[in-house]
Amino acid sequence: MSDEELEPIEILELPLGDWHRARGARMVEFAGYHMPIQYEGIMAEHLWTRENAGLFDVSHMGQLMLSGEGAADALEKLVPGDISALKEGRMRYSLLLDEDGGILDDLMVTATPMGLYVVVNGAVKWDDIGFLREYLPDEITINHMDDRALLALQGPKAVDALLRVVPGVDALFFMEAGSFFWGPKSDPEPLWISRSGYTGEDGFEISVPASHAKALADALCAQAEVKPIGLGARDSLRLEAGLPLYGHDMNPEFDPVEANASFAISKRRREEGGFNGADRILKALAQGPAQKLVGFAVNGKMPVREGAPVYAQDGQVGSITSGGFAPSVGAPIAMGYVASQHTPVGTKLEAEVRGKRVVLTVAALPFIPHHYHRRGKAL
C-alpha cells in the first residue's frame, strides 16, 4: 500500500452540521459528510414523520443544473425517462444508466427556466458528475450547485407548516416544483421547492442557498408540527414506502427492470429506445427479467438485514439488499433480489440469519401506502 492510500480522507462538513449538533443529534459519517443519524431516537422520529412533519437535511445530495441547447435530448441517451416532454415545473424520477444498462444512480430531473435541475445521491455524486461530463456533449453545461443546501420536509402536516413560512406552496401537487420567495418583502430569498420526497408521505424538498439554510431550518422547526429527523428514520421510512436505496437495492449489476423500476421507463422511450442498455432493458421488459427486486414480510421479530441469503427449497435464489424493523408496520420487513419464478406476492421463502432460517413472504410494495398529494385526486 502506498503512503498516498494511507492518507485519511477528510470527512466534510455540511452547512447545517453545527445546527444538528446544537439540537442534540448524534453525528455519523455518511457519503463523506458528518450527518445526523438520530436526535431523540429512530422509532420516535419515524412515527413523528408519519403523523406530523419531519425536517431532513439532505444537503449531501448533489444538486446539478444541466443547461444548454438540447440538454434534455442529450440526457435521454443516459436515462430511460421522457425528459424532453417534461413541462417547466414538472419532475420525474429516473435512472442514470451505464453502457450496459446497469444503474449508476437514481435521480430526480426537473424542468426549470434555467435548465434541467437534477438531484443525485450524495454517495455517488462525484462519479455521476464525471460520467455526465464524459457522456454529455461539451455544449451542455453542468453546474454543481454546491453552494446550496437541500432540506426535505415530510409528513401529512408538512404542507400546513411550510405554508406558514413560505406562502403559496400549497399550489404545488406531487412531482411539481417552482420558485418561491421566503423572508421579508424588502429582501426576499428565492427558494426552489418541489412537492416530493422519499418517505412515502406528502412533503416538500427545498433548495436553499447554504448561507440561508440555518435560518430556514430554524423557521421550519419553529412550527409546532416540525421536528428534525435523522438518517436512521429516513432509512426506515423509505423502506416502508418500498423505495430503493442506491448502493443497496440498486447498483450497476442490475438494470431498471430487475430493480422493479420499469415505471421509470417512459412509453415513448420503450418504443424508440436510444438510451444506454436499451437492448438489454427492452428485452427484459418484453420477456421478463431473470431476477427482480421484491418486498418481504418477515416472520417473527428477528430483523433480516442486507446481505442475508434467500432460499427456496432447491437452494439459494437471491439475497436481501435492505431490511430492518419497520416502526409503522410493527414488524421486520425487507427487500431483496430473487429469481423471477419466486417473485409472485405470497411466495414463501427463507432467509438465513446467524445460521437460523427465517420465513419470508413476498409482499406487495409499498408496505405502508403512499400519501402523495397527486394532481386530479379528490381530497
Partner 1 sequence: MTRYYTEDHEWIDVDGDSATVGITDYAQSQLGDIVFAEVPAPGAELKKGGDAAVVESVKAASDVYAPVSGTVTEGNDALEGDPALVNSDPEGEGWFFKLTLSDTSELDSLMDAAAYKAFVEAL
Residue ranges of the binding site: 205
Residue among 40 and 189 whose Cβ is closer to partner 1: 40
Whether 80 contacts 264, CB under 8 Å: yes
State the DSSP H helix or E strand holding residue 238, giving kind and residue range, or none if neither: helix 231-240
Q: Does 267 participate in binding partner 1 (rule CB under 8 A)?
A: no
Residue among 329 and 339 whose Cβ is closer to partner 1: 329
CB of 46 to partner 1, least distance (A): 8
Q: Which of residues 222-241 bind partner 1 (CB under 8 A)?
A: 232, 235-236
Helices 231-240 and 42-51: crossing angle in degrees, nearest 10, is 60
Q: Does 43 participate in binding partner 1 (rule CB under 8 A)?
A: yes
Q: Which of residues 324-363 bind partner 1 (CB under 8 A)?
A: 324-325, 327, 332, 354
Annotated binding site for substrate: 205
Whether 227 contacts 52, CB under 8 Å: yes
Sign of the dihedral through C-alpha 265, 267, 270, 274: negative
Cell reading at 223: 412550527
CB of 227 to partner 1, least distance (A): 16
Spatial separation of the C-alpha atoms in residues 108 and 267, rounded to whole Å: 18
Q: How many CA atoms lie within 13 A of 38 on its CB side?
A: 12
Residue among 41 and 89 whose Cβ is closer to partner 1: 41
CB of 301 to partner 1, least distance (A): 5
DSSP designation for 371:
-
Spatial separation of the C-alpha atoms in residues 324 and 305, rounded to whole Å: 6
Residue among 226 and 353 whose Cβ is closer to partner 1: 353
DSSP designation for 222:
T
Q: Does 248 participate in binding partner 1 (rule CB under 8 A)?
A: no
CB of 240 to partner 1, least distance (A): 12
Task: Tell me which residue of 267, 274, 283 sits closest to 76, measured CA to CA.
Answer: 274
Spatial separation of the C-alpha atoms in residues 366 and 347, rounded to whole Å: 17
Q: Where does this chain touch partner 1 (CB under 8 A) — which range of 40-48, 53-61, 203-211, 242-250?
A: 40-48
Cell reading at 109: 430531473
Q: Where does this chain touch partner 1 (CB under 8 A) — which range of 43-51, 122-130, 132-140, 289-297?
A: 43-51
Q: Does 38 participate in binding partner 1 (rule CB under 8 A)?
A: yes
Q: Does 68 participate in binding partner 1 (rule CB under 8 A)?
A: no
Task: Tell me which residue of 15, 12, 16, 14 sits closest to 221, measured CA to CA.
Answer: 16
CB of 220 to partner 1, least distance (A): 24
Peptide bond just before 252 cis, omega within 30 deg: no
Q: Name which position in 25, 31, 35, 42 contacts partner 1 (CB under 8 A).
A: 42
Q: How big is the chain by its Cα radius of gyration, in Å? A: 21
Residue among 44 and 129 whose Cβ is closer to partner 1: 44
Query: Could you give the string, one character per residue 295-314, with x where binding to partner 1 holds by CB under 8 A and - elsewhere?
Result: ------xxx-x---------
Binding site for partner 1 (CB under 8 A): 37-38, 41-44, 46, 232, 235-236, 301-303, 305, 324-325, 327, 332, 354
